[in-house]
């Protein structure tokens, strides 16, 4: 049985991913930072939630301890989905250094911390898959989201570089751009979602079901790595 660590698993997309993986018979390790109640609810409702880990992924030593806890509870993971992220939306000139650091350290350094801490056990057990959840903002930028856009662009660079480093260990790593979803952060950005729907080739937002189906496709692959997948249907989208 495959085992997946999902960071930010109590958020909108994170919970959707956990529920989908559970439906496919994948054991999950549910990560949360503050919302442990939601994590416990998931464990109560889903038979495949093997463990809950709580911690601030922006802190390397916290994540290293988390990885040791996971080894004790479930043995190892062969899937990592770096989904946890935050945004602080404001113009750059109004950012404080602390706000910038919080976004970059959670979204980008957090993914580094998780990969750095969990990859050794992946190598020991013969490989696996890593999926980094990026964003359209990381490709084209977004006004008022300089830190968020930079962090999500950084995730793509991290993905491309590590695909070259980790392939020798049979570890596949890809990035996924979900697009605007009627979940979590998306629900708090009604105007942005409307603009996304207006420029969509299909006249609507991305579907959470399409996102998790794409995740499933990537996880089934044996030779796809170093790719950036998108569920966006935006007119004129290119890299």
Position 91 scores a pLDDT of: 96
Nearest CA to 16 out of 223, 202, 229, 206 is that of: 206
Q: Are 48 and 39 within 8 A, CB to CB?
A: no
Weakest mean pLDDT among 24-33, 65-74, 182-191: 182-191
Q: What's the rounded Cα separation, in Å, for the pair 95 and 88?
A: 9
Q: Are 81 and 17 within 8 A, CB to CB?
A: yes
Task: Give catalytic residues, as residue numbers.
Answer: 148
Q: What's the rounded Cα separation, in Å, for the pair 121 and 78?
A: 8
184 Rama sector, left if φ>0, alpha if ψ -120 to 50, beta otherwise: left
Nearest CA to 111 out of 72, 153, 51 is that of: 153
Position 182 scores a pLDDT of: 61
pTM: 0.88
**Mean per-residue pLDDT over the chain, rounded:** 88
What structural domains and CATH numbers belong to the chain? 3-230 (3.40.50.720)
């Amino acid at each position: 049985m495959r085992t997946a660590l999902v960071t930010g698993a109590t958020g909108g997309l994170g919970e959707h991913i956990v529920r989908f993986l559970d439906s496919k018979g994948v054991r999950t390790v549910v990560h949360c930072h503050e919302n442990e109640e939601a994590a416990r609810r998931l464990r109560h409702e889903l038979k495949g939630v093997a463990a809950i880990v709580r911690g601030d992924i922006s802190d390397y030593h916290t994540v290293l301890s988390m990885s040791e806890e996971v080894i004790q509870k479930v043995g190892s993971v062969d899937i990592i989905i770096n989904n946890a992220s935050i945004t602080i939306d404001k113009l750059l000139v109004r950012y404080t250094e602390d706000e910038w650091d919080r976004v970059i350290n959670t979204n980008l350094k957090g993914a580094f911390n998780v990969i750095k801490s969990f990859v050794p056990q992946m190598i020991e057990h013969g490989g696996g898959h890593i999926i980094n959840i990026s964003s359209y903002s990381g490709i084209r930028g977004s006004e008022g989201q300089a830190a968020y856009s930079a962090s999500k662009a950084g995730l793509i660079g991290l993905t491309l570089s590590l695909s070259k480093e980790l392939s020798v260990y049979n570890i596949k790593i890809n990035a996924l751009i979900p697009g605007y979803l009627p979940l979590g952060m998306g629900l708090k950005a009604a105007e942005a979602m409307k603009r996304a729907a207006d420029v969509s080739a299909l006249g609507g937002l991305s579907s959470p079901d399409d996102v998790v189906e794409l995740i499933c496709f990537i996880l089934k692959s044996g030779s796809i790595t170093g790719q950036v997948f998108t569920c966006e249907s935006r007119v004129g989208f290119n890299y």
